[in-house]
Structure formats: structure tokens, C-alpha cells
Amino acid sequence: MEHVSEGTRVASEKISRRAAIKAAGALVGAGIVGGVGGFSPAASVSRAAAQPARTPIKIGFQVHRTGIGAVYGRWYERTATAAATLINEMGGIAGRPIQLVPEDDGTDPRRGAEVVEKLAVHHKVDFIYGTLFSHVVIASAPRAGELKIPYFVVSEGYHVASGKLNRYVFQPGITDVRAQVTGISGWLVKNLGKKITMIFPDYAFGYDHRDFLGRAVPALGGTIQARLAIPPTETSFSKYFARVPADTEVLYHVMVGPGVLTFVKEMGEHFGARRPQIFGFIDSLEGVDLASPGLEYLEGTHFWEAFPRYAGGYPTPHERFYRDRVGVNDAGASVRDPKDVSTYSHMFGCWETLFVIKQAVEQSGYRDPTPKDYRALIETLEEVQWFNEGIQHPQGPKKFVGQIHQSFGQQFISKVENRRLKVVHRTKIEDSLYPPEADYRKQPL
């Protein structure tokens, strides 16, 4: 997308004093202040400026405050709040302030659907946003479609891109699991080994890994030696390690759930020094300090990260700015409480998605929650090809595929060294791309 210089100027003028001072420190020196609001076409900005009453744009925030997703929910809420504060300091969306309307869904599908109804019909929000867990997304999406309200999820599930949901659902802020797996598979087979045994949770999130790595690896000349599914409530893992074939070169683990430390510890006890290469998805260890007792065994193993938790892994000024604004220290924990470790590889999606909403509103001239304005917004967003890197998109540039309402970004592979994650590889966006299997644009609105 081209930067529109006039819009940049107008938008920059609208940044509040405090934001300007803060942002300037981080950005001006780096010469990237042009990124702020850089995508706003002049037309929409001037129209927004003309609007007399600055009624807020209300964004319903469906958040997992309780239930199994609560660790993630806590950080999603902090990130979303930080992004909303920044946007308001920058002058809001099309001149209107953002108002987040959070509502807990208990990480429960039924409550999730109810929350969508409550936000849309009772609170009359303009958009709904922020959901993570797949089952909540899948149960909520039909209601958003029926109520005809745009629904932006930050879930990384393959459900949006698969075409199973509807035209009102978007995932523009985070790469989906299929693309993540596809993106790292080349590096994995080339650098760690061709004979791979997978350990994954026995539910939806795990199946995406099972299916898509299972498809990618043979295409690269590797083999999947065994697929071990672990039930979500499992508390002891030794018995699964017994089923890892002896000739396994790489152990690939995706073990989301509270049992992860046990998993790692028992992995260490089982294999000891005679271990295969180990590659994991950081999802299991989001919110967990890598220096926790019991995680010693991870030293020297590799992880996928969407966004490097430890500062310096992706040293851009935008990353630094984002990290500071959300309140995360260099080790990926809360500035206020170093024991409170963030979910750094996921929560950036809340930040970026809020800026996508801002961009879509401003470009489409959206004003009110009417079918006409929603149509304009959805059709505008479906035309977007790229989200440029900047403070709006600190994780990196994203290719957006309008047919499947899904973004594709770069991925990171990190190695555990001295109980910290050190980035060893960054994938290209093309590594993750796959041909779209659906086209939401053909659905009526």
C-alpha cells in the first residue's frame, strides 16, 4: 500500500502532545514517524475531521477472563487497552475516540455466542474483536454473521482461512496455524532432521498441526515417524515418550495446557542425554518463565515464535515502541511484575488488529453500524493486499488474502540458550503461503 503523504501530515498533526512526545523519542530518531497514520487517505481524514460530535467508535472486546484461556486473556486485554490508548492519543479512528467494551466469555462456546449478542444488540458496538480460543470463535461466528456485524478474531486457528465461517469474520492480525506450520517446515527438515515424531494435544488445535505438518514434511522429503495425541487433561507423560520410535531425529511438540512443565521435565527424565533434536511451538510456554524450575531440559532445543519474546530478537524501533507501550520488559514479562510473563507470540495480534480496524474504517468512510457502511468496510478490507510494517504492525509486514480474510506474516525460529530464547531464523512470508481453498467474497452480505 502506498503512503499518502497528505494524510500523513494531517494525521500527524492530530496526535496529542503526550503521544507525540512519547512516540517522538522512540521513532523520530529512527526516521519512521511517517509510519504513524501513514495509510490514511486524505479524503476520509478530512471528512472525519468535519464530524462535529466526536461520538466514540465502540469496539466490543470478547475476552477470556476466566476459564482455560485466562492467561492469554489477561495479556490480550492489556495489549488491546494499550493499542486503544495509543490510537486515542493519535486522534482516534477517523477523528473519533475508540471505546473498548470488554465482556468475559469464560472461554466457553455458549457464553461466547451470548457475548456476541450482548455486544452487538445490547451495547450496540460497531465491531466485535479479540477472541482467541477456536471453539469460542467457531460458536460465536454464526451469531456475528446472522447479526451482520464484523467480527475480528485473534485466534491463529485455521477456521477463518478454511472458509468454514462467514463473510463477517476476519483474522487480519495474526498468521494462522496452517501457515505457521508450512512456514517453518522447510527449515525444520533441512536443519534438524527428516524423521519426525509429533506430539500434539488431542483436540482441534493439535489436529491442525497433525494435518498440515503431516502434509508439508513428506513434500520436503521427510517422514512422520509417529503421531502421538495427548488428551487435554493428561497429567503424566512418560508413557507417551515410550512410544517415540528409536530412529526419530526430531521430536516435534505442541503441548498446550497446564501440564507443559511436567511434559518437559518428564521428557528430560526419559531421554536424558540420548535425545533427538527437539522442536516445539511456544504456545505451550506462553505465560511461562523459561527459567522456571523443570525447564532446564529445554536448553539447546528450538521453538517457533511468532514474535520474539526476548528483546533483541527482532530489533526494530517499532518492536521497542510496542514493547514499551504494552509494558513488557526485555525478558518478555510485565514491567510491573517480572514473574508475570506475557503471551508475546500471540497478543501482538490484538494490537495489529485494532490498527487494521482503524485503517478499514478510515479508508471505507465507515460511520454508523448500518448495512451500507458495513458493506463498504468489508469490501474495502477484502481489497487490501498488504499491511506495512510500522508501529501499527510491529511484528512485521503482512500479506492479506481477501478471499480467505487471513493475514500472512513472517515467523521466527529461536533456540534456547542460557534459559532465554535466541532467534536463529526468520521465515519469509512466501514460505507460509498456501493456495486459498475458499472465497468469502462470493458470499452475499
Partner 1 sequence: MSFEGHLFLALLEGTVTGFVLALTALGLSLVFGVMRIVNVAHGEFFMLGAVIAWYFSTLPGGFLPALVAAPLLVGAAAFLADRLVLRRLEYKPESTIVATIGLLYIIQQLVLTVYGPYARPVAAPVYFRLDFPWFGYSGYKLVVAGVSAALLGATWLVMSRTTLGLYMRATQQDREMAQAFGVSVDRVYALVFALGAGLAAMAGALVVPIQQAHYLMGLDALLMSFIVVILGGLGSLGGTVAAAFLIGVSDGLVSVFFSPTLAKIVATLLVALVLVLRTGGLFGEEGT
Partner 2 sequence: MRRPGARAVWALHLAVILLLLGLQVVVPPFHQIMLARIMVLAVYAIGYNVLLGYAGLMSLGHAMLFASGMYATGLTILYFGVGAGAAFGLGVLASAVMATALGLVTLRASRVSFLIVTMMFSQAFYLATLYFNEITMGDQGFIISGQLAPLRAGGREFAFSDPAVKYNLALVVFALCLMLSVWLTRSPIGRVLVGVRENEERTRLLGYNPLSYKLLALIASGTIAGASGSLYTLMFSYVGSSFASILYSIYPLLWTLLGGTGTTLGPLLGTALMTYVVDIASGLTSSYLLLVGATLLILIMWFPAGVMGGIRTRWARWLP
For residue 179, the minimal CB distance to partner 2 (Å) is 18
Three-class SS of residue 26?
helix
Is there binding between residue 433 and partner 1 (CB under 8 A)? no
Q: Which is nearer to partner 2, 54 or 122 (CB)?
A: 122
Binding-site partner at residue 104 among partner 1, partner 2, none, CB < 5 to 8 Å by type: partner 2
- Which residues does 261 contact at the CB level (< 8 Å), separation at least 6? 288, 292, 294, 295
For residue 144, the minimal CB distance to partner 2 (Å) is 11
Q: Following DSSP, what letter does each residue of 316-332 receive, concatenated?
A: -HHHHHHHHHHTB-TTS
Is there binding between residue 215 and partner 2 (CB under 8 A)? no
Within 13 Å and on the Cβ side, how many CA atoms surround 108?
11
Residue selected from 102, 259, 349, 394 as contacting partner 1 according to rule CB under 8 A: 259
Q: Interface with partner 1 by CB under 8 A: which range of 71-79, 148-156, 187-195, 204-212? A: 71-79
Binding-site partner at residue 146 among partner 2, partner 1, none, CB < 5 to 8 Å by type: partner 2
For residue 373, the minimal CB distance to partner 2 (Å) is 19
Is there binding between residue 443 and partner 1 (CB under 8 A)? no
Q: What share of the chain is helix, strand, coil (3-state, %, to 5)?
A: 40, 20, 40
Give the residue carrying C-alpha cell 529512527: 30
Residue selected from 68, 147, 224, 433 as contacting partner 1 according to rule CB under 8 A: 68
Three-class SS of residue 337?
coil
Residue selected from 165, 198, 350, 361 as contacting partner 2 according to rule CB under 8 A: 165
Give the residue carrying C-alpha cell 523519542: 25
Rounded-to-integer distance, Cα 57 and Cα 40, Å? 17
Binding mask 269-288 for partner 1 (x = CB under 8 A): xxxx--------------xx
Q: Which is nearer to partner 1, 68 or 331 (CB)?
A: 68
Residue selected from 29, 218, 258, 338 as contacting partner 1 according to rule CB under 8 A: 258
Residue selected from 74, 167, 178, 210 as contacting partner 1 according to rule CB under 8 A: 74
Q: Between β-strands 169-175 and 406-409, what pairing exists: parallel, antiparallel or unpaired?
A: parallel
Is there binding between residue 239 and partner 1 (CB under 8 A)? yes
Binding-site partner at residue 418 among partner 2, partner 1, none, CB < 5 to 8 Å by type: none
Three-class SS of residue 347?
helix
- Quote the strand ranges of 92-219, DSSP E: 98-104, 127-129, 151-152, 169-175, 195-201
Rounded-to-integer distance, Cα 72 and Cα 85, Å? 20
Residue selected from 41, 97, 109, 294 as contacting partner 2 according to rule CB under 8 A: 109
Rounded-to-integer distance, Cα 410 and Cα 345, Å? 12
Q: Following DSSP, what letter does each residue of 84-129 receive, concatenated?
A: HHHHHHTT-BTTB-EEEEEEE-TT-HHHHHHHHHIIIIIS--SEEE
Rounded-to-integer distance, Cα 399 and Cα 410, Å? 10
Binding-site partner at residue 109 among partner 2, partner 1, none, CB < 5 to 8 Å by type: partner 2
- Which residues does 13 contact at the CB level (< 8 Å), separation at least 6? none
Residue selected from 3, 22, 215, 265 as contacting partner 1 according to rule CB under 8 A: 265
Binding-site partner at residue 56 among partner 2, partner 1, none, CB < 5 to 8 Å by type: none
Cell, residue 424: 536463529
Is there binding between residue 138 and partner 2 (CB under 8 A)? yes
Is there binding between residue 83 and partner 2 (CB under 8 A)? no
Is there binding between residue 207 and partner 2 (CB under 8 A)? yes
Residue selected from 51, 236, 385, 443 as contacting partner 1 according to rule CB under 8 A: 236
Cell, residue 124: 450496540
Binding mask 206-235 for partner 1 (x = CB under 8 A): -----------------------xxx-xxx
- Which residues does 308 contact at the CB level (< 8 Å), separation at least 6? 314, 344, 412, 414, 421, 423
Residue selected from 118, 375, 426, 441 as contacting partner 2 according to rule CB under 8 A: 118
Residues that bind partner 2 (CB under 8 A): 65-66, 103-104, 106, 108-111, 113-114, 117-118, 121-122, 134-135, 138-139, 141-143, 145-146, 157, 159, 164-166, 202-205, 207, 231-232
